[in-house]
Structure 1
Amino acid sequence: MNDLLIISHDVVGQRMAGPGIRMWELARTLARQIPVTLIAPRPIDLPSAPGITYGHYTWGDKTTLIPYLNGATTVLANGFVASAHPDLLTFRGRLIVDLYDPIVFENLELFRHRPFNEREEQTQRDLTLLRELLLRGDHFLCATERQRDLYIGGLLALGRVTPALIDVDPLLRNLIDVVPFGVSDDPPQASGQPALRGVLDDLNADHQIILWSSGLWDWLDPLTVVRAMPDVLAAVPQARLVFLAGRHPGQVPEMATLQQTSQLAADLGLLGNGIHFYNEWIPYARRADFLLEAAIMVSLHREHLETRYAAVRSRVLDHFWVGRPSIVSAGDAAAELIREHQAGEVVPIGDSQAVAAALIRLLTDQQYCAQQSAQAAALGQHLRWSQVIEPLRNVVINTQPREIVFMHTPNSSLLETLQRVRNDAIRVQERTWQLEQSLSPNPILRFIQRTILRFFANPQREHNAAALRSMYALAEQIDHTTQFLFQMNRQLQDLTGKINSLEEQVEGVINNLVTQIPEHKLRISNLEAGMQEHNQRQVVEIHQLGQQIRDFAEQIAGLEETTSQILAHIGGISAVPSQQNE
């Protein structure tokens, strides 16, 4: 069991978003069994928690993170940390990479309206980071089985799935397993402070609140529920839609969806009169106050890869925590969960009429709404952090030998092809670098060409010669480097074989010791019992010998007295006076 360093790439504190919440809850749950150090890009302003040491680093400044890495044996980090701190990839201990957030797909949506070149560059950076993480990580976490299939495909393409690994981990659960977002183990309790009612205009105790509890991110679809509200208000005049629209507490820029949603509500004449925006980020400890005031929750998305491979979002899980039915778009993991457990309504993507119908049914059919609420609360009990974290707990506590990722050895035929292409190019340079090879066979024309070359081609000839020399040096360097790398790879494989053999020997010795311990304990126990019995016999024998000595002394004293009396009787000698008389 090792101390654990958990690195969050997002803010952890009184106000935090999904990534920070995840790392905080993982740390809080694991700290019940092992010491945890939790660090974030800003100081953590939460009350102290048992078993957790807080720290912080500066995003992009490696000098602030390296001391934590140097003092750790096991690190759990969101993969995005490596984008600004590549030192994470060279960490010498055990690295657990959290891939719950499919950043490649998220950025495809986030940068959709940027210039195409910028989008291409961002995607290449994200793909490079993902490859590096999949090659380096010792263990991986993801949030759904769908994500797990996606990442196993990447691990397979990068050569991480091998016969040797399958022999010991047939389903790769030790390499990558599902740790979804969880539900707080603490039951929701209102603080008694007002949250929405009496705070926002036109919102009182009589209103039935429809709450959008997530952020207004560009990959979500709040516009569809706004378009549904005129029909909802016509059927249920007391309904009110509230967006929690506070600015992200971290470095995430404001997204276009917020302005678009507000503008659409204004265009429909419902802004502040049926549709409301709460423009502060809610403290994590107070979220129950806001959630418990709502009757129905809503979270919709557009159709794209981000939502298909997204985790069940933290705010949707909060719906289960407080036992409220949800209306969600079809196609993602949350929709599958809600449909399976009948914890709300699943609607087609972008269908405002279906959203309106689902809202009206839940707002007007109290029995149906109560049934869905009970199902949501029951689902939340099965998704508590203390339960969903079990695969991570096993990885952290039951330390396994670190898998070594060998350098990928290129196919020999491919190397031969590359070398042949390179050598052919060198031969062409050797034939043409002096330029004279292309002179005309006609003596007059050749004289003219040489005259021209003397004035204009000498610099080019020097350049060609230098380029050819560089090519020779580079080819030789590549050959030596390739040979060196192959030798190192073979040595590394030999060393690993020796390590594995040594581990087997050590394991055999340990097993022998383990099997011999009970026998030695029995021998020691028998020896202790024998020694105790022997000591007891000696004590008894000593007491008996002492008694015999006392008896013998008394007999001698009696014999002396008898002797004196006999002598006195025979010879008239008076008895020997006693010491008392003296």
Structure 2
Amino acid sequence: MTRVLIITGDPLAAAMAGPAIRALNMALTLQGAGHEVRLVSTTRAEHPAPPVPMFAVTAGDERGIAVHERWAEVVLFQGYATTQFRTIARTDRMLIADAYDPMHLEMLEQGRELPPATWALRVATARDALNDQLRRADLVLCASERQRLFYLGQIAGLGRLNPATYATDGDLRGLLAVVPFGLEPSPPVADAGQGMRGAVPGIDADSRVLIWGGGVYSWFDPLTLIRAVGIARELEPRIRLFFLGTRHPGVDEMGIVREAFDVATSLGLEGREVIFNDTWVPYDRRGAYLVEADAGVSTHHVHVETTFSFRTRILDYLWAGLPMVVTEGDGFADLVEVEGLGIVVPANDADALADALVRVLADSPEVETWRANVARVRERFVWQVVLQPVLDAVAAPRRAADATAGRDGMGVGARAVRTAGFGHTVRMTLHHLRAEGITGVTSRVRKRFARD
């Protein structure tokens, strides 16, 4: 039995997004394997019925995190923990960095709506924080073989591909392991009154429902999808597109949400063929929505973030047994095409997308074949399977072959600045003052207090 501390930057609550869901399921799987687990959020820990011990420790609270770090034998973290807590950056415990979300690439898209100087700062901060954890970690987790190739180049540039790490681990699986997002072993079941049909205006027993399973962010392309629904309704008038959530529990709403609503309204689709859920479905209720859908859909633009992304919503489609329509360009598009899980369409092509939507909503042998393939592939992604590298590491904790005391010698290059504490607050205030003036700083302070 090993004592494991898991740290996430996302809220642990009834409504959770991908990082918190992943952290919770890691905790549950490790606990089920007989290990002791504590789960810490740097934002909120308000789960109504916590299945594992949960705590909230504010970023920069060294005393608060030290209590858990001293208790643990293994520390597994997501996000900015090594730049938020010196205690984590310098721990002598086995340190596992969960880098399944390449946050520097994500910030290239997430920051598009920010002032240029702030966008550049956000990208640099994410890049430096990721480099810092890649330097210090005893084990790094990524989500796919495609991501692994990307990270191999990054850790090589940081000096972690060296004689010590290479001597007994030629493929470096002991330093950089593939751990995809997982899914629950039992598919969801219908729960009368808890899903969409008959509860959401515009969706009834006869509707043919496409579900968009997750948030609406700027790196996705809901606009082409909405236009495609407008085209497809001429052939399938029962078509409905339901956006499961438009308000991420830990991220400010992006302008693309308003654009999507405006396009749907301008085409006369909003509230009928296109329906927005303007909240966030609680994690333990999402299955009731998914199982009532006829197909899952995910459309995006093609860029670097797409190439190395891992769309966790696709796993929910696998979990619920849904055939799917997805845009080309990412790893899951390859899986859908190779395994016959649905249809892959070109980016930004509303006509091709409309044809695919009509096909995936039809009653046809083709759709039944896709469903059978989804059920087969689903078994590869259950949490107990995908987390095997973590289970192995936790069963026999060990430091990396090039480990140094204090971790500052594990890799090369400049160290990342702190992303928590008084110094960070001063730096960010001065940045926003220079970039946006006093009006911008005042607006940000108001938003922060409104969130709190």
TM norm. shorter chain > 0.5: yes
Residue 324 of structure 1 corresponds to 322
Residue 385 of structure 2 corresponds to 387
SS, match of residue 31 in structure 1: helix
Amino acid at match of 1:319: Y
**Could you tell me which of 42, 45, 54 is aligned with 1:43?**
45
Could you give the per-residue CA deviations for residues 501-537 of structure 1, whole angstroms, max 9, x where no partner exists?
xxxxxxxxxxxxxxxxxxxxxxxxxxxxxxxxxxxxx
Residue 74 of structure 2 corresponds to 74
Could you give the per-residue CA deviations for residues 438-495 of structure 1, whole angstroms, max 9, x where no partner exists?
xxxxxxxxxxxxxxxxxxxxxxxxxxxxxxxxxxxxxxxxxxxxxxxxxxxxxxxxxx
Within 5 Å, give how 1:133-532 maps onto structure 2.
133-250=133-250, 252-311=251-310, 313-403=311-401, 404-405=403-404, 407=409
How far apart, in 2, do the equivalents of 1:91 and 1:217 lie?
Answer: 35
How far apart, in 2, do the equivalents of 1:393 and 1:69 lie?
Answer: 19
How far apart, in 2, do the equivalents of 1:164 and 1:278 lie?
Answer: 52
SS, match of residue 297 in structure 2: strand
Q: Is the 8 A contact 2:138 2:399 kept in 1?
A: no
| Alignment CA distance shift 1:400-1:61 (3 Å) | closer
Give the drift of 1:48. Answer: 4.3
Q: Is the 8 A contact 2:4 2:72 kept in 1?
A: yes
Amino acid at match of 1:81: A
Give the drift of 1:166. Answer: 1.2
How far apart, in 2, do the equivalents of 1:261 and 1:79 lie?
Answer: 29
Give the drift of 1:43. Answer: 2.1
Greater alpha carbon shift after TM alignment, 124-133 vs 219-228: 124-133
Within 5 Å, give how 1:530-545 maps onto structure 2.
none
How far apart, in 2, do the equivalents of 1:8 and 1:164 lie?
Answer: 30
Greater alpha carbon shift after TM alignment, 66-75 vs 387-396: 66-75
Q: Is the 8 A contact 1:191 1:286 kept in 2?
A: no
Amino acid at match of 2:116: F
1:131 to 2:156 alignment? no
- Which structure has the larger Rg? 1
User: Identity of aligned pairs, percent?
Assistant: 34
How far apart, in 1, do the equivalents of 2:364 and 2:319 lie?
Answer: 20
SS, match of residue 329 in structure 2: coil
Q: Is the 8 A contact 1:98 1:140 kept in 2?
A: yes
Give the drift of 1:297. Answer: 0.9
How far apart, in 1, do the equivalents of 2:11 and 2:410 lie?
Answer: 37
Give the drift of 1:336. Answer: 1.1
Give the drift of 1:243. Answer: 1.0
Give the drift of 1:120. Answer: 2.1
SS, match of residue 233 in structure 2: helix
Q: Is the 8 A contact 1:185 1:384 kept in 2?
A: yes
* Displacement over 4 Å in runs of 4+: none
Amino acid at match of 1:276: I
Structure 1 residues without counterparts, runs of 5 or longer: 411-582
Could you give the per-residue CA deviations for residues 414-451 of structure 1, whole angstroms, max 9, x where no partner exists?
xxxxxxxxxxxxxxxxxxxxxxxxxxxxxxxxxxxxxx
1:23 to 2:19 alignment? no
Could you give the per-residue CA deviations for residues 89-140 of structure 1, whole angstroms, max 9, x where no partner exists?
1122111000001100111111123222222222222222122111111111
Give the drift of 1:401. Answer: 4.0
SS, match of residue 234 in structure 1: coil
Amino acid at match of 2:341: A
How far apart, in 1, do the equivalents of 2:187 and 2:255 lie?
Answer: 35
How far apart, in 2, do the equivalents of 1:91 and 1:143 lie?
Answer: 25
| Alignment CA distance shift 1:7-1:408 (3 Å) | closer
- TM-score w.r.t. the length of structure 2 is 0.86
Give the drift of 1:246. Answer: 3.8
How far apart, in 1, do the equivalents of 2:224 and 2:360 lie?
Answer: 18
Q: Is the 8 A contact 2:136 2:410 kept in 1?
A: no
How far apart, in 1, do the equivalents of 2:411 and 2:155 lie?
Answer: 16
How far apart, in 1, do the equivalents of 2:141 and 2:153 lie?
Answer: 15
Length, aligned pairs only: 406
Amino acid at match of 1:42: R
How far apart, in 1, do the equivalents of 2:86 and 2:261 lie?
Answer: 40
SS, match of residue 265 in structure 2: helix
How far apart, in 1, do the equivalents of 2:165 and 2:186 lie?
Answer: 39
| Alignment CA distance shift 1:158-1:193 (3 Å) | same
How far apart, in 2, do the equivalents of 1:133 and 1:37 lie?
Answer: 21
Q: Is the 8 A contact 2:214 2:246 kept in 1?
A: no
SS, match of residue 372 in structure 2: helix
Amino acid at match of 2:375: A
How far apart, in 1, do the equivalents of 2:256 and 2:195 lie?
Answer: 24
Q: Is the 8 A contact 1:245 1:258 kept in 2?
A: no
How far apart, in 1, do the equivalents of 2:90 and 2:211 lie?
Answer: 44
Could you give the per-residue CA deviations for residues 219-256 of structure 1, whole angstroms, max 9, x where no partner exists?
11111110101221000111111112342222x11111
Give the drift of 1:289. Answer: 0.9
Greater alpha carbon shift after TM alignment, 293-302 vs 195-204: 195-204
How far apart, in 2, do the equivalents of 1:274 and 1:409 lie?
Answer: 53
Amino acid at match of 2:81: V
Q: Is the 8 A contact 1:214 1:299 kept in 2?
A: no
Give the drift of 1:2. Answer: 2.2
SS, match of residue 88 in structure 1: helix
Aligned alpha-carbon RMSD (Å)? 1.8
Amino acid at match of 1:38: L
SS, match of residue 234 in structure 2: helix
How far apart, in 2, do the equivalents of 1:156 and 1:247 lie?
Answer: 38
Q: Is the 8 A contact 1:13 1:46 kept in 2?
A: yes
How far apart, in 1, do the equivalents of 2:167 and 2:328 lie?
Answer: 38
